[in-house]
Amino acid sequence: MKFLALATAVVCAALAAPALAHGPTRQKLVETVEIDRPVDKVWAVIGNFDALAKWHPVVASSAADKGNEEGSTRILVLRAPGAPSFAEVLLKYDGAGHSYKYEIPKVDPKILPVNNYTATISVLDNGKGGSTVEWKGAFYRGYMLNDPPPELNDESSVAAVKGVYRAGLDNLKKILEAAP
């Protein structure tokens, strides 16, 4: 009887251990902006994979080696001391549907504290003569093990990505609505 109780306790402890060793969870973020311009006008500004530097205020350059072809790699150079850079790869491009999906294969967590990052940018008709631009991403925090430092935890990673999205979307609205 004692052996059965001990065996049951060992099995229960073994089954509970993975729950205690919880690593990072996939974070998801969606940010949108309403722009008082038709879809085609908005897509003309953001629709090319290499156009990010034209509308995102922190991107100095965004050259893409194969344009809008799936597998194209764009190198983002940021407007920051030392001109930090990283690569993004185009996974899917849908010009007719006004969207594209890309990933960041690897980025220094000091630049952007994320891992396994993918995102989609879409321009949708808002039904009022304007557009809704949606930027949605999924990623893991910058530190993939347990007990991350504060600057690489889930909250910091979400805040960093949200900051990137908001800066870009807000500036896009400003540029497009200021244009004639």
Where do the structural domains in the chain lie, given as residue ranges? 24-178
Strand partners, 102: 90, 119
pLDDT of residue 2: 58
Continuous H helices in 2-153 = 2-20, 39-46, 52-55
Percentage, residues of the chain above pLDDT 70: 88
Query: Average pLDDT, stretch 104-110?
Result: 96
Q: What is the CATH number of domain 24-178?
A: 3.30.530.20
* Residue partners of 36: CB distance under 8 A and separation at least 6: 129, 130, 177
Query: Average pLDDT, stretch 85-105?
Result: 98
Residue 173 has pLDDT above 50, yes or no: yes
User: What pLDDT band is residue 129 in, cutting at 50, 70 and 90?
Assistant: very high
Residue 14 has pLDDT above 60, yes or no: no
pLDDT of residue 56: 98
Q: How many CB atoms lie within 10 A of CB 42?
A: 24
Determine contact, residues 113/157, Cβ cutoff 8 Å.
yes
Mean model confidence pLDDT for the chain: 91
CA 46 from centre of chain:
16
User: What pLDDT band is residue 102 in, cutting at 50, 70 and 90?
Assistant: very high
Determine contact, residues 67/50, Cβ cutoff 8 Å.
yes
pLDDT of residue 41: 97
CA 120 from centre of chain:
8
Rounded Cα–Cα distance for residues 90 and 121 (Å): 11
pLDDT of residue 1: 56
